[in-house]
Homo-oligomer: A and B are copies of this chain.
Amino acid sequence: MESFIDVSPDSDFPLENLPWGVFKARTSTSDDTPEVHVGVALGQHVVSATALHVAGYLRDLPEADPRVFAKGRLNEFMAAGRPAWKAARATLQKLLSSSEGELRDQPELLARVIHKQEDVELLLPARIGDYTDFYASRQHATNVGAMFRGPANALNPNWLHLPVGYHGRASSIVPAGASVRRPWGQVMPAGASAPIFAPSSQVDFELEVAAFIGPGNALGEPISASGAWDHVFGLVLMNDWSARDVQKWEYVPLGPFNGKNWATQISPWVVTLEALEPFRCSPPQQTDPEVLPYLREALPYTYDVELAVDITPAGYGRATTVTRSNLKHLYWTFSQMVAHHTAGGCNLRPGDLLGSGTISGEEPGSRGCLLELTHAGRDELVLETGTADVEGSDAIGAMVAPVTSGVRRRYLEDGDEVALRGWCGGAGQPRRIGFGLCNGKLMKCRT
């Protein structure tokens, strides 16, 4: 499958992918095209479905409002359901293919439809009504539980019976590329008798994948596990920035609050399940114990998505990959999360976001956050520094960096950049389907 738009072989965004996003074109267009576009990524370019809509294309998708691409957000398209998603994908793949002249040979239309990624500002893909975060990785829950309660009591009694989750904060979800600010918070220092209010000294990332909900459900009408994947529009990478010291002091008994609500970051391109289809795989067995019937699927599946986290330490230009994990490690699948979330009647709405929780694997190098990687700050992580990078150093002032030695981290320092990556295939497997970057820099706290 080839496009007339050039796509390099190692691109995250070949014609087989076409992930959806929302963007502002930095150059104004002269026609009636709205300022905020809905579209897909293709190689180094973006393709505006909004501009195609204005030109008369993509208007007769099954069971979809003809104006789904004129809303400046993906919610209405997400609500339309899988037949509309497949039809839009097929139309775009045809219009963009190298054998098709309908778009390629209309230079004026082409100029309105195709933009370089560097010329657009990527926004959040949808208006996120509610954001829920789960805790679905057995390895993560075990590692964290062992630190707090010892290995014998690592998993709480409910953990193997239901996907534990909590409601997160939707307002502070930001797209990749945004910098986030180290939060102040109330913390109880070790050995102190009273808490203090101070900048968090334990800022962490969390490697997660999140699902955007497509069609929702009415209040009081649960979604069954077997049909639940049809309510998932697609997946993004998510960094659930966390202040561990704040979280530790506040979270009993109602869960995380200010420790996490200051920023959650997602990758801007939503990779559809159609694009992920060649990478379906089996999730972990759930036989000890068997899960309750409402969480069972006839043919359970998940996706084989490789994940990695790179940290570029403040003042340096070189990133170190600190963890490698995979979506398939998750004990609970997104379909089970949807089924559990709605089991009591809670309604999901198109554009809602469901995070997986930190995704850790079995190996030490697959742990998805610094809390696990450094054993809650007991150990240090060594990051390579490479050559000094003046551009990267503005957040902490000029530093003269040694060329080859490493810097050490227990938690993140001001100016550190965290980038999550995710991809399927490549290297002899089916064509690489990538998620792009979920990257953000930690700024110093307010003074």
Does A258 contact B292, Cβ atoms closer than 8 Å? no
Does A344 contact B183, Cβ atoms closer than 8 Å? yes
Q: A258-B341, A258-B344, A344-B258 are in contact. Are A167 and B168 (CB under 8 A)?
A: yes
Contacts of A293 in B (CB 8 A): 197
Chain A, 212-252, contact with B by CB distance < 8 Å: what is the 0/1 string? 00000001111000000000000000000001001001111
Does A294 contact B197, Cβ atoms closer than 8 Å? yes
Does A186 contact B161, Cβ atoms closer than 8 Å? yes
With an 8 A cutoff between CB atoms, is A346 at the interface?
yes
Does B253 contact A156, Cβ atoms closer than 8 Å? yes
With an 8 A cutoff between CB atoms, is A283 at the interface?
no
- Taking the nearest CB of chain B, how far is it from the CB of A221, in angstroms? 8
Does B172 contact A343, Cβ atoms closer than 8 Å? no
Does A346 contact B186, Cβ atoms closer than 8 Å? no
Main secondary structure of the interface of A (DSSP, over half): loop
Does B170 contact A129, Cβ atoms closer than 8 Å? yes
Complex interface residues of chain A between 159 and 194 (CB less than 8 A to chain B): 161-162, 164-172, 174, 181, 183-186, 188, 194
Given the complex of chains A and B, what is the CA–CA distance between A195 and B162 in angstroms? 10
Does A170 contact B346, Cβ atoms closer than 8 Å? no
Q: Number of copies of this chain in the oligomer?
A: 2
Q: A158-B249, A196-B292, A343-B184 are in contact. Are A129 and B257 (CB under 8 A)?
A: no
Given the complex of chains A and B, what is the CA–CA distance between A137 and B156 in angstroms? 28
Contacts of A249 in B (CB 8 A): 158
Q: A158-B252, A194-B289, A343-B258 are in contact. Are A263 and B171 (CB under 8 A)?
A: no
Does B343 contact A165, Cβ atoms closer than 8 Å? no
With an 8 A cutoff between CB atoms, is A20 at the interface?
no
Does A166 contact B344, Cβ atoms closer than 8 Å? no
- Taking the nearest CB of chain B, how far is it from the CB of A158, in angstroms? 6
Given the complex of chains A and B, what is the CA–CA distance between A252 and B251 in angstroms? 10
With an 8 A cutoff between CB atoms, is A69 at the interface?
no
Does B158 contact A292, Cβ atoms closer than 8 Å? no
Given the complex of chains A and B, what is the CA–CA distance between A167 and B185 in angstroms? 17
Does B169 contact A130, Cβ atoms closer than 8 Å? yes
Q: Which of B162, B168, B183, B294 contacts A345 (CB 8 A)?
A: B183
Does B292 contact A186, Cβ atoms closer than 8 Å? yes
Does A169 contact B167, Cβ atoms closer than 8 Å? yes
Given the complex of chains A and B, what is the CA–CA distance between A222 and B174 in angstroms? 17
Q: Which 4 residue pairs spanning A and B have beta carbons closest together?
A: A255-B255, A183-B344, A166-B254, A167-B167
Q: A residues engaging B (CB < 8 A)?
A: 129-130, 135, 156-158, 161-162, 164-172, 174, 181, 183-186, 188, 194-197, 200, 219-222, 243, 246, 249-259, 261-263, 289, 292-294, 340-341, 343-349, 352, 446
20 A-B pairs whose Cβ atoms sit less than 8 Å apart in the complex: A135-B254, A158-B250, A158-B252, A166-B167, A167-B169, A170-B170, A174-B219, A183-B344, A183-B345, A184-B345, A186-B340, A197-B294, A219-B262, A220-B262, A220-B446, A246-B344, A254-B255, A255-B255, A261-B341, A262-B344
